[in-house]
Amino acid sequence: MIKEKARRDLVHQICLGCMNTDVSSEEILEIQNIFNNISSFLTEEELDEILSGVIESDNAQLKIKIMEQLPQLKSTIEWLPQFLLLLIHDPDESVSITAMNIIQQLDIRGFEDSLLLEIEKIIGGRKNLIENAPIYNKRELTALLLGEKLYCFKKPNSRAITEEVEIDLSNMILIPEGKFIKGITEIVKNPIINTLEIAYPSNEMFLKEYYMDKYPVTNKEYDQFCEAIEENGHVWCHPDEDCNKSHRRATFYNEKAGPDHPVTGIDWYDAFAFAAWKGKKLPTAEQWEKAARGINGYDYITEHNLVNDFIHAFEIKDFSLEMWKDILINQNDVLKTHSIYSENSNQSPYGLMGMIGNTWEWTRTRYLDQKEQVPSFRGMDKSLVWDDWSAWTTVKVGSYTSIGELLHPAYYDKRLIIERNGDVGFRCVYEV
């Protein structure tokens, strides 16, 4: 045991060394040895005094030598990650990298959100796909590698969990492998819509077989998922999702949103996590369209002799566009979802129910380039997400707010990946 006066003298000697801008390499090694010898006897106040001096020091070598001794104190100093957090953005790259490397040896519970925020500042939004990221220096690469470990720490790999899930195919429909006609075969001239802006020209496309939910996910099913999240943590969430995000649907307290109605008031990340919980995925826009139309390019309604009475959408004979806008904006309380079982005649050639009307449905396809959605928005200010073209995601196709002209399975619309709207739900696919 070191006597208090002797310990205080040594603490003072270390702090003076931190303030000395001309400290030599030999003196740095001496300070390191002193700290190593007395660290286990220091009070919390004395440790705080020394580490505060280290932070204020202009000597990178001294900072590194002191940090190298810290892992042995990880069981006694709960706030070590907070100290290292301050050194992650040190101007000296070697100090920053050392701090990030030492963090990997510590218990960072309670600090992961703050650490991830600092890491994301370093890597500038390039948070996934390391092999494709434009790495410019060692600090960025270290931050990326640490970030991936922190994501895993916070959210265990969903694949390890979903591999144990027994996929329930009882309410799913097999969509066989093969070609189908995608897009619009005839350009519709309509004063209300421009077909070219909401559908692609007709083309033939090949898809492997997959299963798709017969019905959209209901409020009851989604609430069960939220209970699973509360019990197990965010183990099914997308790695890009913000930490500890609430998955509770925005319609949870809306009495009109019945348990057998399609879930709405959820964003893309919510839908992704639910699908992972079930061992499934969100469909691509092409998978959704084929399931709705069959292989011959059916337009869903006229080819199956459906009338609008079976499609829950906005439809008034001889209405004007202004009338539709007025009702949609000023009388939204009369517009609401229906039970998924209330439209038994509303089915696709494969037998999937309610794919037109009631709600739009999320896909995993980006809107502008029609490629798979690979989000990278974690920690980004929401206003910046709005300005990022890749955050806009394709939804299919028509809801209770849609006019009849929009009820064609080739049509699509866009929603921001973080939007929670009252007219967007989803269903899942299982890819064989």
Decide if pLDDT at 344 tops 70.
no
pLDDT score of 210: 97
48, 81 contact by CB (below 8 A): no
What's the mean pLDDT in 199-222? 92
Query: How many other C-beta atoms lie within 10 A of the C-beta of residue 90?
Result: 17
**Residues written for the chain:** 432
pLDDT score of 277: 95
Confidence band (pLDDT; 50, 70, 90) for 391? Answer: very high
Spatial separation of the C-alpha atoms in residues 65 and 397, rounded to whole Å: 61
In sign, the C-alpha dihedral spanning 42, 48, 51, 53 is negative
112, 150 contact by CB (below 8 A): yes
363, 283 contact by CB (below 8 A): yes
pLDDT score of 161: 46
What's the mean pLDDT in 109-136? 63
Least confident of 102-116, 223-237, 303-317: 303-317
Q: Burial, 183: exposed, middle or buried (Cβ in 10 Å; 0-12, 13-18, 19+)? A: middle
> In this structure, what DSSP letter does residue 431 have?
E
Give the domain ranges of the chain: 4-154, 167-431
Q: Which residues pair with 218 in a beta bridge?
A: 262
pLDDT score of 215: 95
**Pairing mode, if any, of strands 360-366 and 424-425?**
parallel
Decide if pLDDT at 118 tops 90.
no
pLDDT score of 223: 97
Q: Which residues pair with 431 in a beta bridge?
A: 210
Q: Which CATH number is correct for 167-431, 3.30.460.80, 3.20.20.10, 2.40.440.10, 3.90.1580.10?
A: 3.90.1580.10
What's the mean pLDDT in 150-176? 68
Decide if pLDDT at 427 tops 60.
yes
Q: Could you tell me the pTM of the whole model?
A: 0.64
pLDDT score of 5: 80
Q: Hey, which of 81-90, 223-232, 303-312, 341-350 has the most confident mean pLDDT?
A: 223-232
Tell me the pLDDT of the chain averaged across its residues.
Answer: 81
Decide if pLDDT at 307 tops 60.
no
> In this structure, what DSSP letter does residue 412 have?
-
Place of tokens 């000296």: 92
Q: Give how far Cα 312 sits from Cα of 302, 329, 360, 426, Å.
A: 16, 18, 11, 16
Decide if pLDDT at 406 tops 50.
yes
Decide if pLDDT at 249 tops 90.
yes
Decide if pLDDT at 55 tops 70.
yes
Decide if pLDDT at 177 tops 80.
yes
Stronger pLDDT, 192 or 154, i.e. the higher one: 192
